[in-house]
Structures are given as C-alpha cells and as structure tokens.
Structure 1
C-alpha cells in the first residue's frame, strides 16, 4: 500500500481540484444571471459570450478532473483489495489443519468475500466522501460568509447538527444489521458446502428434499436480513437530503 500511496495522494489532489471547480461554476452562473438582469443589450452580448465560454471550459475541466480522481483514487483502492485478497489467501494456505477443523467454511467465505468488499468500500468511497465533505464544508462556509454574511450562513447550515445525529444513530443500526447479514451469508455458505461435500450421503439416504427445504429457509433468512439492512440504509439518504433541503428553505424564507 505504501508504494501506491502516491496514487492515493494524487486522487485526493484531483478531488480537491474538482471541488474548487465545482464551487466556481454556480458563481459563474450567478454572474451570467446578473448580466441578463442588469446589463444592456450590447453589454449582454459581449460579456455573455465570454462568460459562457468560461462556463463551458469549467464544465469540461470538471469532467477531466473527476475522471482522473476516479482513475487514481479508485484504482489504488482496487489494488489494495487485490493485495488484501492475496494476503488472506496466502494466510489460509499457511494455517494448520486444526484451524480448519474449528473454523466454519461459511465464516471463511464471508471473510474472503463480503468483508474484503467492505474494506474496499471503506478505503475507497468512505475516505473519498469524508475528504470531499470536510473540504467542501470548510470552503463553502468561507465563501458563504464572505458572500452573504454570517447570519444567512448560519441559517443555511442549521440542519447540520440534526444530520450528524441521524447519521450517527442510524450508522450504528446499519453496522448491527450488516453483521446480521454477514452471519446469514456464513450460515448459507456453510450449508451449501456441507451439502456438496456430503452429496453421496444425501443421495444415499434420499435427503434431497430435506436439503432443498433447508437451503430455501436459509436463503429466505439471508434475503430477510438483507432487506432489513436495505430498509434503514435506504431511509438514511432521503432523511439527510430532507434535512439539508430545510436549510435551503430557511435561507430563502429568511
């Protein structure tokens, strides 16, 4: 990971650059609107042309910066996932037979698949969103205080404490339900592995129907656990957006 840290740094640098360009685009749109509202016809034609070309340039620049942000940032995270999988597989090969006598196959499958995917998301999307949010909040606050004043800025960011509380509370519930999903996946994988490894016994005692029924029950249990996770996960983003929207409404009303 250390040898690929330069790509991580480049990804964060392109992230910050894209945020700066993204912030400048609304300001450019505001200037264009001001020209249309207050300028004369001759001034509109001359200034509008230059402002529109700048707007087009910033849009293409934002596209390029976002491309390189994903190229370096997401690329190094995929390399990290590949390295972790190889390290885990090498560790599995070195473990003694006594370990596999104690450990369940389903648990090992969950560690080698879902857990590593969760690590990739944490090292990729979570870090990306965290850096993006921290930088945008600091820059946007500075720009808003300079442009509209402290009172209007405080009105716009007033929902932030509520967003923080909801994210913290629901985040804990999401972690608990994610663990339940992992347990369900482990049980399902363990059952399938046992059925395949003991297929001769299953056929010899005509237990096919029983194994099918067992698999269906475990599959439904796994689906139910996933739905429980998705329900609270799906409710988090609308609630956050709703609270963020109240800040905009309060700013307009103020």
Structure 2
C-alpha cells in the first residue's frame, strides 16, 4: 500500500479546492509573463521616439491593472492551496490521535512520548508544507519554466541556448545534494524527538528528580540532548549554506552570458533594445523556478521522511483487538477464575507469569503481594485486558475475557 493511501480520503474530499487553487496560480503566472513584454515595447517606443502621452498612460494603466489582478489571484490561490494545507494539518492530527487511541499499552511501552509528540507537531507540519507550499513551487517550476523558455526562444533562439548553458550544472548540483539532504532531514527530526522526549520525561517526573536530588544530572543530560539537536541542525544548515549560494552563483553566469552576447546582438541590430530588456526580465522569471527546485527538494524531502514516520504508526496493528462477535454479558456477578495462566511480554523470551491458577468468588477480596518484578502489575494488566491473555486463561462469570 502506498504511503499516500493515508491521505486518499482527504484528497477525495478536497480535490476541488486544490484544482481551484492551481487554476488561480496559473492565472497569476500567466499575468506575470505579460509585464516584461510591455516593458520591452515601452523601451522600443522610447528609442524610436514614437511614444505618446496617451500610449504611456495606456501602458501604465495596463501594468497597474495586471498588478491588481496578480494581487487578487495571489490572495485566491493562497486561500485555496494554503488553506487546504491547513485542513490537511487538522485532518492528520485528528487521524493520528484516533489511531493512537486504538493502539494497546504495549505500543506505548515501545515508543517514547517525545517521538509521538514530534509526530504530532514536526512531522505533520512538514507534510502540510509539502502539500501546500510544495504544490505552489511545483506548479511554478513546471508552468513558468515551460512558458518562459517558449517566449525566450521566440525572442532569440541563439541567445536562449547560450543563456541555458549553465543550467545543466544547476541540475547536477540539485541531484547531487538530494540524498544527502534527505539523510540529514531524518537525523534532525530524530534528534528533535529525543529532545522532546527528554523534556517530557523531566517535566512529568520532576517530583522524583527533586526527591533524589538529581537536578544537576538531569540538567547535564538535557544539555547533551539539546547539543545533539543543535549539531544535527547545524549539519543541515552547512549543506544548505553551500547549496543555495552555489545555485545563485550558477544562475548569475546565465545573466553574464545574456548581457555579453545579448548586448552584442543589440549593437548589431539582431534584436531590439526592447527585446533585450524583455529577455533579461524573462530570464529573471526563469531563474526563480530553477532556484525554487532547491526549495522544493527541501520541502519534499522533509514531507517524505515525515510521511514515512506517520505511515509506520498508521500501519501498526493493535495488540488487543476485540473479536467481531463477542459473548453477550448479562448481569455481572464478579466470579473470577484464572486457569494455568502463562504470559510473556511481546519481544521478551522469559515469561513473567507461569502456570498461575486462581479462583475468586464474588464479594471476596484478595491481596497480591510479592517482590518487585514478580508479576503483580502484569496480572492486573491482564485482568484489565491491557494485554491479551491466552485464550481460556481468564474467565469472568465463566466467560473468556
């Protein structure tokens, strides 16, 4: 089953919101492609001396109108795409909490509270970003890149080919950093889980810590976890510190090539000054989606790792499951019978209880005494069915628990 299966129900209900958001985003991107063309026409008119006051007013009004439409469009796609991502946040938190309620005590013994808190905060936030901002970046990259390249080719195919010379190096950098980023994202999230767990452990056990005067030891232990968290984040910061400047440097070479060769084409009247200015503006539009690939990888890598972590929880099978058909219970009398009860905790080799037999009639009281680890708590947990007792080993009024 795909990891995206846990989101299927949500997407079926909210697909129309995503589609509307993408349509508004495409509308905004299309409008952004008009302005450089207008600026190029203004430059050509100014150079030719054919510009008039009425034409300037028309151009200015058009640019202002486009800016207003872009603002309205951006508000609309944010409401649909980012708003739906917030709905996803709400959906996943409720789904996660509901799933945790179905799991048995044994699961919570195996997983620390800090991990579970990190799932409900960091992981869900990362998934929200992937299906919010990530979709925005993906649409921008696909649409703006395709349309801008098409326009650049209509202005000057030769100059376009020259401008694209550095971009294979850009893609090589993106692919080269991809796996390393995913590995470091996972390490950061695990470090945060341990830090959260340590904080929760100290806050809930503060009375015990103070009773045994363990403040200094716990402060030092927390400091170590905090230091580990910082170190893992710094490793991620370092790789980003190389990644983004390197991408910016490669993109700068594209501008240098266009200014050099494009300037020569203007001097030789191969292209007009307006085309040259428009070309630079469109190249700037092209740089954004290309550099946004790095940001998209960041968001997708975080979301993928977080989705994998949540998927493990949603795939977890409860240790205690009620049968489809249960025995009818009338009035409880309270007669308890334990027959040759032997129990071993999941993952353990040695049984905690072995061959326990007990009969307790209604109205009777029985005290369980014994040294630490003798199985008193385990027996009570089995009576409460926090763990599944072996079939036929515990009967209440003759009915198997």
- Asked if TM exceeds 0.5, the reply is yes
1:86 match: 94
1:215-239 residue CA offsets vs partner (Å, 9 max, x unmatched): 1221122122112212222432222
Pairing 1:34–2:44 present: yes
Match of 1:53 in 2: 61
Alignment partner, residue 196 of structure 1: 203
1:158 aligns to what SS in structure 2?
coil
Please say which of residues 154-163 and 76-85 is displaced more in the overlay: 154-163
Of 187, 197, 200, 2:194 maps to 187
Determine which structure has the larger strand proportion and give its number: 2
Aligned with 1:132 (options 115, 131, 140)? 140
The aligned residue for residue 143 of structure 1 is 151
In the TM superposition, residue 63 of structure 1 has moved relative to its aligned partner by 1.2
- The farther-off stretch of 76-85 and 150-159 is 150-159
**Unmatched 5+ residue regions in structure 1?**
none
Give distance in 2, aligned partners of 1:236 and 1:17. Answer: 31
- 1:231 has 2:238 as partner: yes
CA distance in 1, matches of 2:239, 2:218: 32
Asked if 1:170 corresponds to 2:177, the answer is yes
- The partner residue of 1:106 within 88, 100, 114 is 114
Q: How many angstroms apart in 1 are the aligned matches of 2:24 and 2:167?
A: 26
Distance in 2, matches of 1:35 and 1:241, equals 33
d(CA) in 2 for partners of 1:208, 1:120: 38
Residues paired across the two proteins, number: 251
The aligned counterpart of 1:205 is 212
The match for 1:215 is 222
**TM superposition score normalised by structure 2:** 0.60
Within a 5 Å distance, the mapping from 1:115-130 to structure 2 comes to 115-130=123-138
Using the TM superposition, give the Cα deviation of residue 134 of structure 1 relative to its aligned residue in structure 2, in angstroms: 0.8
Q: Once superposed, what is the RMSD of the aligned Cα atoms?
A: 1.4
Shift of residue 211, structure 1, vs aligned partner: 0.7
Corresponding residue of 1:16: 26
CA distance in 2, matches of 1:168, 1:130: 16
**In proportion to residue count, which structure has more helix?**
1
How far off its partner does 1:198 sit?
Answer: 2.5
Q: Which residue of 2 aligns with 1:7?
A: 17
Q: CA deviation at 1:32?
A: 1.2
Shift of 1:169: 1.8
- Alignment partner of 1:97 is 2:105: yes
In the TM superposition, what is the alpha-carbon distance from 1:16 to its structure 2 partner? 0.8
Q: Secondary structure at the match of 2:179?
A: helix
Q: Is the contact between residue 106 and residue 189 of structure 1 (CA under 8 Å) also seen in structure 2?
A: yes
1:70 aligns with 2:78: yes
CA distance in 2 between partners of 1:47 and 1:223 (Å): 59
Greater Cα radius of gyration, structure 1 or 2: 2
Matches of 1:168 and 1:251, distance apart in 2 = 26
Please give the alpha-carbon distance, in whole angstroms, between the structure 2 residues aligned to 1:172 and 1:30: 42
Match of 2:260 in 1: 253
Q: Indicate conservation of the 8 Å contact 1:35/1:48, yes or no.
A: no
Q: Distance in 1 between matches of 2:178 and 2:147?
A: 26
Q: Report the alpha carbon displacement of residue 100 of structure 1 after superposing the two structures with TM.
A: 0.4
Would you say the 8 A contact 1:35–1:47 is kept in 2?
Answer: no
**CA distance in 1: counterparts of 2:173 and 2:238, whole angstroms:** 15
Question: 1:44 Cα shift?
Answer: 2.5
